[in-house]
Amino acid sequence: MNLMKKKYLIGTVLSALVLCIIGIFIYTQYSKPADASEVVHQPYTGHQIEGYEDILNRSSNFDMGLNKYGEPIFVDRDNAYKQLLVTCKEGIEAIQEKGDLPEISKHNLGTYSSASMDVTDEIYNQETVHQAAFVGIFYDFYCHGDDR
C-alpha cells in the first residue's frame, strides 16, 4: 500500500471512531431515562412496609406505589426525603452519632442506611431505634426510584 492510501485509511477509521464516541455521548445524555421513578400502580401495601405503618401513615409525603419493575417507590421522592428528615429526626441523629457520620444528605443516605442497624435499644429508646431502622427501609424504597 502506498503512503496516501494508508493515511486515508487511518483517517477514515479515526473519523468513524470519533463519530461513534460522539453518538454514544449524545445517546446517553439525551435519551429518555427508564423512568423507574414513575409510579404505575398505587397504593403500595406490600409486606416490605410491615412494622413501619405508624411512620408511613404520619404524612401523605410517604405515599407509595409501584414502579414499572414492580418495586415499591415513593410517589414523590423529594417530599418523602424531606418528610424523613422531620419524622425520623431522633433516629437520624442517633445514626449520625453512632456512625460518626457527617450531616445526612441524599448523597450519603446509603451510608446512613448501612449504619442504621447499629442503633440499638441498649443505648437509645425504642422510638429512636424504630426511626433508625426505618431509615434503612426508606433507603431501599428511595433507590427503587433511581432510573436505570
Would you say the C-alpha torsion 79, 84, 87, 93 has a positive or negative sign? negative
Which pLDDT belongs to residue 148? 46
User: Regarding predicted confidence, which is higher, 147 or 144?
Assistant: 144
**Tens-digit pLDDT profile for residues 30-41:** 655 556 677 777
Instruction: Indicate the burial class of 32 (C-beta count within 10 angstroms; 0-12, 13-18, 19 or more).
Output: exposed
User: 102 preceded by cis ω (within 30°)?
Assistant: no
Domains of the chain, by residue range, sit at 1-31, 34-144
C-alpha 109/C-alpha 135 separation (Å) is 8
**Whole-angstrom Cα distance, residue 2 to residue 19?**
26
Q: What is the pTM of this model?
A: 0.72
Reported as a single tens digit per residue, the pLDDT across 77-98 is 999 999 999 999 999 999 999 9
Identity at 84, one-letter amino acid code? L
> How many other C-beta atoms are found inside a 10 Å radius of the C-beta of residue 59?
15
Q: What is d(CA 51, CA 3) in angstroms, rounded to the nearest whole number?
A: 75
pLDDT, tens digit (0-9, with 9 covering 90-100), for 118-136 = 999 999 999 999 999 999 9
- pLDDT of 23-66, one tens digit each? 777 776 665 555 667 777 788 888 888 999 999 999 999 999 98
pLDDT of residue 10: 85
